[in-house]
Each structure stands twice: as structure tokens, then as C-alpha cells.
């Protein structure tokens, strides 16, 4: 590892989308010596698709000058529209709303592994450290932080950023005694996903659903279906989400025909419902995952250590916004650390990060859970009435998409300067 003591040493724990995003933002500042530590033997993403909405794309453009090229190389498929339909009940098959029709950009869909691959590509190989599982974080008297890894090595940093996912060890350090009280808990839903070829999807779900590159969501009684096109139009993601009443301890349940039939008992046999069930059960090991979230988090920062991405604000996926929040985190840390020249400013930079990012991300978590309830027909007022659902759903994305990246950065920098002033005065 480089030992340039004139540069501020930054250790990022976790090499998922958040860790890679933050690293891209920080390497833009030559005064930072940035390293990413990943516990897995290689940097990789499992899972199916991920959508980057308008705000996520804007944040990515603030993070790296090569954002456009990166999204192209990652095989992103821009959606022409994102339609939400009624899936069950008297109005099954009725269009509720099309995001494109509301003036909101429906986003770009990626295969997860391809997006991570391209986010890692701009990073020098010698800053990426696989096979490095964080073991302990020990603050030192001089303000630096010693980070011990399971392989017995210890590295010292001026700033440590935890991007180690929903069950983050860095989060436990940051929250200390409050960690158990604010641990991730079930959000009330499960989901199951599969990636299939475009040809297979067309044959099973119907050609008409693929005339345009469009994301479709079907909101019905107790469950929700979605499908979208990705990986340069070669693949389709199909998914089912459903209300979860029992919460398996390991967050995982076998996905069987009985489970699906029970969830869809009140749905008519429309081709999309029949087809998606068929495609999911055709997987080698059909499995469904509980959706967990952070219902509250008292702080993202503790002196020279902070948390980002799912470590800070894991959310249910109903608004497709989790990774976008991680990219906004990265953008804000990039802006703050471009102005942090001395180790003595790290703690105030993390405090400023916490001040602007926590309210925003918590609003997304709370809104996402509510959106899930509506999509699964659980809102008593709206039910599965297409007209009422337009009113209930349309406004839910506005606050996510409308964020001005320039204002958000300005707010963070103003907060940093305020904290610096207060520190100077004391």
C-alpha cells in the first residue's frame, strides 16, 4: 500500500456498489490515498437487475467524469416508460400510471454484476484489496483509526468509511451501545427474482409486453409482479414480491408452487402472472428473500468513522432507490473530502455528511415501505382501484427524483464550514 504520509489515508470497507461509488468520488481528489477492502475473494455482485433513476444517474455524473461511458459499457437499457398496472381484482389489466407520462425519467436498468464491474474499472488495481475481512476498528489517541483484518494485518487510516452492507460491522462500531436497538429488521415483504433471455420472456409472458423497452409493475392483492429488460436487451428480469407475515430467521424461503399459488390465489389467471410464476419455478433453486431495512439510525458518523450505502440506510426495494442513495452518499463525500486537507477535519466532514444524508435516506426508507403496502393492495383507502391508485402512487417518486445535486452538495459544504467555524471558536 502507498505510504505517502502527506496524503490523507482513507479506508473503505466493502467493495459493493456503495464502496465502489465512494472510491470513484474520492479518487478525484489527489490529496487522498484511498483503498477499498472487500471480504470476498473477488469484487462481485450477485442478484439480478438494478435500476438507476434520474437522481442516481445525476449523482453518478457528479462522481466520475466517465459516467456516460460507464453506463453504456455496463449494458444499461434506458426504459422508454415504466408502467404500473392493476394485477388483480375487478380492474385487472388496467393501466394505473406510466412514470414517463408524469414527466419523470423512468431510468436505466443494469445487470448488477455489469454495473459493479464498470464502477470498479476506473479504480487503480493497487487500491483494491480482496480477501480482506474487517475484524476490528480501534480508534487511536492521535485521531487515526487502526483497522484489523481477519488475515492478521492492521492498517491505519485518517478516515474509515463503512460500505459493508446491511449487516455492517462498521455500523456496529459507529452506533456502539445503540447498535442492537437500531439493527436491520424485516420490512414486511419478500421477493424472488430470475434473469431469463429476452426470447424466453417474450414466449412466456407475451410479445406485446416487449414492443418497447418498458418496465412493467403489476399491483395486486397481497403480491406484486415486475419485469424489465437489461444487459443490452439480451436479458429480462422477472420478479414477484409479496406481503410477508412470518419472517424466516435466515431471511430465505424455498419458493414452491404452493407458496406462489397461495400468494396469487386472488389473482386471475392473466398470462403475465402465470408466466412469471412459471419462469421463477424454472430456476435451478427457486428461492425468495425477505426484505429487511433500517427503520431508524441515530447517526451515520462517529469521529473518524462513518457509514454509507446499505450499512447506513438499507431500504426495501419498492422505489428502486437504495443504490441511488449510495451514489448520492458518494457524491456528498466526494464534495466534502475535496475540501478536507487535514486529518483534524475528518470528524466534522463526517458530521456534515450525517447532517445532510440521514434525513434524505430515512425518508426514502419510510416511503419505500409505504409504497410496498400500496403495490400489494394493502392500503385500505386505495385498495386496487386504478383511479385512487394514481393519486396514491404518482407523488411518491417526486421527492426522490427532484433532488438538486448542486443544492445538496452546497448544503453539505455549508454544514462543513459551519462545523469548522464552531470548532475554531471553541
Ligand X SMILES: Cc1cc2nc3c(=O)[nH]c(=O)nc-3n(C[C@H](O)[C@H](O)[C@H](O)COP(=O)(O)OP(=O)(O)OC[C@H]3O[C@@H](n4cnc5c(N)ncnc54)[C@H](O)[C@@H]3O)c2cc1C
Residues 320, 334, 372, 377: which binds ligand X (CB under 6 A)? Answer: 320
Nearest residue (CB) to ligand X, 53 versus 415: 53
16 touches ligand X by CB under 6 A: yes
Q: Which is nearer to ligand X, 85 or 326 (CB)?
A: 326
Of the ranges 16-24, 174-182, 276-284, 340-348, which one interacts with ligand X (CB under 6 A)? 16-24
State how far the Cα of 26 lies from the Cα of 107, in Å rounded to an integer: 25
Which three cell numbers, joined as nine digits, stand for 213?
Answer: 423497452
**Residues 40-69, interacting with ligand X (CB under 6 A):** 40, 50-51, 56
Identify the bridge partners of residue 162 per DSSP, sorted by sequence position.
13, 307
Please say if 133 is a catalytic residue.
no
CA–CA separation, 336 and 414 (whole Å): 10
Long-range contacts of 371-374 (CB under 8 A, 24+ apart): 371/318, 371/319, 371/396, 372/187, 372/188, 372/189, 372/224, 372/241, 372/291, 372/316, 372/318, 373/188, 374/219
Q: Which of 193, 214, 253, 369 is catalytic?
A: 193
CB of 335 to ligand X, least distance (A): 19
Q: How far is the CB of 257 from ligand X (least distance, A)?
A: 22
Residue 169 sits in the site that holds ligand X (CB under 6 A): yes
Q: How far apart are the first and last CA of the chain?
A: 37
| 279: three-class secondary structure by DSSP | helix
Q: Which residues pair with 217 in a beta bridge?
A: 84, 226
Q: Does 12 bind ligand X (CB under 6 A)?
A: no
Contact flag: residue 164 with ligand X (CB under 6 A)? yes
Q: Which stretch of DSSP H or E encloses residue 135?
A: strand 134-139
Residue 269 CB, shortest distance to ligand X, in Å, is: 26
> Binding of ligand X at residue 309 (CB under 6 A)?
yes
Taking CB under 6 A as the rule, does residue 334 contact ligand X?
no
Size of the site for ligand X (CB under 6 A): 32
Per DSSP, 351 falls in state H
Among 187, 220, 324, 334, binds ligand X (CB under 6 A): 324
In whole angstroms, give the CA distance from residue 217 to residue 107.
14
Query: Taking CB under 6 A as the rule, does residue 37 contact ligand X?
Result: yes
Binding site for ligand X (CB under 6 A): 13-19, 37-40, 50-51, 56, 132-134, 163-165, 169, 191, 309-311, 317, 320-324, 326
Active site residues: 193
Amino acid at each position: 500500500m502507498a505510504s505517502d504520509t502527506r496524503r490523507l489515508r482513507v479506508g473503505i470497507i466493502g467493495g459493493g456498489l456503495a464502496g465502489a461509488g465512494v472510491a470513484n468520488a474520492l479518487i478525484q481528489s489527489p490529496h487522498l490515498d484511498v483503498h477499498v477492502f472487500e471480504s470476498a475473494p473477488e469484487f462481485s455482485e450477485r442478484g439480478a437487475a438494478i435500476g438507476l433513476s434520474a437522481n442516481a444517474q445525476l449523482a453518478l455524473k457528479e462522481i466520475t467524469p466517465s459516467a456516460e461511458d460507464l453506463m453504456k459499457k455496463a449494458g444499461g437499457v434506458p426504459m422508454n416508460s415504466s408502467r404500473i398496472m392493476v394485477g388483480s381484482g375487478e380492474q385487472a389489466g388496467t393501466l394505473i400510471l406510466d412514470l414517463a407520462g408524469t414527466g419523470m425519467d423512468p431510468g436505466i436498468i443494469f445487470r448488477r454484476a455489469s454495473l459493479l464491474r464498470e464502477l470498479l474499472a476506473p479504480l487503480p488495481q493497487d487500491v483494491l484489496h480482496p480477501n480482506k475481512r474487517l475484524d476490528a476498528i480501534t480508534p487511536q489517541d492521535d485521531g487515526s483509526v487502526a483497522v484489523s483484518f481477519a488475515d492478521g494485518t492492521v492498517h491505519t487510516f485518517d478516515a474509515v468509511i463503512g460500505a459493508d452492507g446491511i449487516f455492517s460491522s462498521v455500523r456496529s462500531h459507529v452506533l456502539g451501545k445503540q447498535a442492537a436497538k437500531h439493527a436491520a429488521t424485516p420490512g414486511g415483504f419478500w421477493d424472488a427474482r430470475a434473469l431469463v433471455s429476452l426470447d424466453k420472456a417474450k414466449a412466456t409472458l407475451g410479445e406485446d409486453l416487449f414492443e418497447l423497452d418498458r418496465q412493467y409493475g403489476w399491483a395486486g392483492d397481497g403480491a406484486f409482479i415486475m419485469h424489465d429488460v437489461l444487459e443490452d436487451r439480451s436479458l429480462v428480469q422477472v420478479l414477484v414480491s409479496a406481503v410477508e407475515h412470518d419472517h424466516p430467521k435466515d431471511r430465505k424461503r424455498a419458493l414452491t408452487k404452493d407458496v406462489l399459488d397461495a400468494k396469487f390465489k386472488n389473482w386471475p389467471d392473466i398470462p403475465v402472472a402465470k408466466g412469471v410464476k412459471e419462469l421463477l419455478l424454472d430456476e435451478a433453486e427457486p428461492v425468495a428473500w425477505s426484505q429487511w431495512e433500517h427503520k431508524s439510525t441515530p447517526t451515520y458518523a462517529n469521529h473518524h468513522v462513518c457509514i454509507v450505502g446499505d450499512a447506513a440506510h438499507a431500504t426495501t426495494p419498492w422505489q428502486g432507490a437504495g443504490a441511488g442513495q449510495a451514489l448520492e452518499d458518494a457524491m456528498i463525500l466526494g464534495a466534502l473530502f475535496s475540501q478536507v486537507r487535514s486529518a483534524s477535519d475528518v470528524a466534522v466532514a463526517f458530521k456534515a455528511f450525517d447532517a445532510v444524508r440521514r434525513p434524505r435516506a430515512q425518508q426514502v426508507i419510510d416511503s419505500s415501505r409505504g409504497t410496498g403496502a400500496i403495490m400489494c393492495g394493502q392500503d385500505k383507502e386505495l385498495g386496487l382501484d386504478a383511479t385512487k391508485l394514481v393519486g396514491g402512487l404518482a407523488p411518491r417518486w417526486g421527492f426522490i427524483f427532484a433532488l438538486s445535486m448542486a443544492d445538496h452538495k452546497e448544503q453539505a459544504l455549508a454544514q462543513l464550514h459551519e462545523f469548522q467555524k464552531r470548532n475554531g471558536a471553541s
